[in-house]
Structure 1
Amino acid sequence: MVLRQNILISGASSGLGEGMAREFAARGRNLALCARRIERLDELAAELRSAYPGITVATRALDVTDHAQVFAVFGEFRTELGSLDRVVVNAGLGKGQPVGSGRFDANRQTLETNLLGAVAQIEAAAGIFREQRTGHLAVISSFMALRGFPRNLTAYSASKAGISAFAEDARLELSRHGITVTDVRPGYIRSEMTDRSSARNPLMVSAETGVRALVKAIEAEPKRAYVPAWPWVPLSVAVRLAPARLLRRFA
């Protein structure tokens, strides 16, 4: 297994991004952390530098829907750290609304962030990795990329299906350049995004359990990973075969 020392994580100011930053820092990795909320990033960076004085933690404010800024920030991180060994494309939204409910604005924002924003990050990272002739892209998609889902998940699942397809396309293109691409598909992991839902979900795992599983999967660098493996690997088979009426239970 290749040691990826310098790791960029987008959306690192909270939730899974923050959790992965903590886990990678504990493993002695240097971090490039970006998100819209720079104050929270800087607080996290100060905490990690104090806890792990041997690592470097760089931060930048970044809105991934500003595509020019994505390329600029990724380039700045590469200059500051000397190289980027892994990029975790994590920034995302989960604020979609039912189709035809008058909330195209929410669905558009979800698609712009989760799909176009992620594509911009993949492009920026791939350009750097091509020059280096090595690198690992870990694209945080979702279990919801498997099928279409109703209600508030419609735009979200569409955006994740799109970015999973793009990640597969990128893998086919980039493997000959020494670049590895992993499509990471988390199930229900507790975070700020999932905490907005008041519904009790028996499949939800704690942030700590989910983040450990995410980092373990990313470190292994498979083509695709359902996280945590149980129960999401067997569920991935069941959901592919399930009649559409049963999919409403996931929404």
Structure 2
Amino acid sequence: MENKKVWFITGASKGLGLTLVKKLLNNGYNVAATSRNLSDLENAVGEFESFLPLSVDLLSEESVENAVSQTITKFGQLDFVVNNAGYGMIGALEELSDKESRENFDVNVFGSLNVIRKALPQMRKQQSGHIFNISSIGGFSGNFPGFGIYCATKFAVAGFTESLAAEVKSFGIKATVVEPGYFRTEFLTSGSLVVPKNPIDAYKEVRESQAAHQNDINNQQPGDPAKGVAVIIAAAESENAPLHLFLGPDAYQVANLKIVDVQKDMEDWKELATATNFDSI
């Protein structure tokens, strides 16, 4: 086995995941990558000595554990994990059923937690590693009509990544939540963006947002996936990797607006909201 860094990437048959896999292989890394459909992944990437394509059901702990085990058996170590698999969902909170909402959480949140749970024993053994969890700028700001459930899943990803970073720091392991803006991938196509089964016409802003994302924004996103994954690789190679990695000028703009809004709310209500301790005697 060559002593090269090993990456494990989920949701790798398209989008940012596929772009990242190709870039890493061209840069000489060992890469294990997962997809629900193995042939799609193999056809998209091609054959490389340093590539291990895996068919994985991220909602099955057994399937995830088997994939991580195969990766370690083939490459001998596990250095970087990228939880990239997920899908978008648009629909007002009232429109989306419990089943629709839970399914989005299953893939976007619990699938990633399954991977983290199975990857950490090897990383703790090595006393090294870096986990990247792909969230969204919608995981930092929820000010997107119709994306409430999706944003909630991505807020969850950001939250558990912050806790993860604190939990594994003493083992020499890092964690980063990646929060991209709009990148020109297949994310807004029908295969990656789910719409409500029972829409409510009264939600005018949601319908307008749905139409805009499906018809106007799709294929017009400003972000270049190749440039986005290059930043992720740079963060992986850096001694001072960020906990929060915002990707794209649009992500920075939205994040800065959110920070200003939060600071204003805090300042406006500071006098009343901080007078809540028991009076000292």
TM range (shorter): 0.7 to 0.9
Matched, 1:216 2:234: yes
- Judge conservation of contact 2:13–2:41 (CA < 8 Å) in 1: yes
Seen in structure 2, the aligned counterparts of structure 1 residues 163 and 16 have a Cα distance that, compared at 3 Å, is same
TM-score by length of 1: 0.84
* Cα distance in 2 for residues equivalent to 1:4 and 1:142: 30
User: Counterpart of 2:259?
Assistant: 240
User: Counterpart of 2:246?
Assistant: 226
- Residue 217 of structure 2 is aligned with which of 180, 186, 200? 200
Q: Which residues of 2 match residues 118-157 of structure 1 at below 5 A?
A: 118-157=112-151
Q: Which residues of 2 match residues 179-190 of structure 1 at below 5 A?
A: 179-190=173-184
Aligned residue for 1:189, secondary structure, equals: coil
* Cα distance in 1 for residues equivalent to 2:217 and 2:128: 43
Identity %: 25
Amino acid corresponding to residue 234 of structure 2 in structure 1 = K
* Cα distance in 1 for residues equivalent to 2:81 and 2:111: 14
Aligned residue for 2:87, secondary structure, equals: coil
Aligned residue for 1:198, secondary structure, equals: helix
Alpha-carbon offset, residue 209 of structure 1:
3.3
Q: Summarize deviations over 1:140-160 as a string: whole Å, max 9, x none.
A: 111111133454311111011
User: Counterpart of 1:247?
Assistant: none
Alpha-carbon offset, residue 6 of structure 1:
0.8
Structure 1, unaligned runs of 5 or more: 50-54, 244-251
Alpha-carbon offset, residue 138 of structure 1:
0.9
User: Counterpart of 1:36?
Assistant: 36
TM-score by length of 2: 0.76
User: Counterpart of 1:19?
Assistant: 19
User: Counterpart of 1:248?
Assistant: none
Amino acid corresponding to residue 215 of structure 2 in structure 1 = S
Larger Rg computed on CA atoms: 2
* Cα distance in 1 for residues equivalent to 2:164 and 2:62: 20
User: Counterpart of 1:191?
Assistant: 185
Q: Summarize deviations over 1:43-97 as a string: whole Å, max 9, x none.
A: 23425x2xxxxx5101110121122211221122111111111111111111243
* Cα distance in 2 for residues equivalent to 1:117 and 1:22: 23
Seen in structure 2, the aligned counterparts of structure 1 residues 116 and 210 have a Cα distance that, compared at 3 Å, is same
Seen in structure 2, the aligned counterparts of structure 1 residues 207 and 114 have a Cα distance that, compared at 3 Å, is same
Aligned residue for 1:65, secondary structure, equals: coil
Please provide the CA RMSD for this pair.
Answer: 2.2
Alpha-carbon offset, residue 125 of structure 1:
1.5
- Which moved further from structure 2: 102-111 or 19-28? 102-111
Aligned residues: 234
* Cα distance in 1 for residues equivalent to 2:149 and 2:18: 24
Amino acid corresponding to residue 72 of structure 2 in structure 1 = R
Aligned residue for 2:130, secondary structure, equals: strand
* Cα distance in 2 for residues equivalent to 1:160 and 1:36: 21
* Cα distance in 1 for residues equivalent to 2:86 and 2:237: 21
User: Counterpart of 2:104?
Assistant: 110
- Judge conservation of contact 2:25–2:50 (CA < 8 Å) in 1: no
- Judge conservation of contact 1:97–1:154 (CA < 8 Å) in 2: yes
* Cα distance in 1 for residues equivalent to 2:94 and 2:63: 33
Seen in structure 2, the aligned counterparts of structure 1 residues 45 and 199 have a Cα distance that, compared at 3 Å, is closer
Structure 2, unaligned runs of 5 or more: 191-213, 263-281
Seen in structure 2, the aligned counterparts of structure 1 residues 198 and 213 have a Cα distance that, compared at 3 Å, is farther
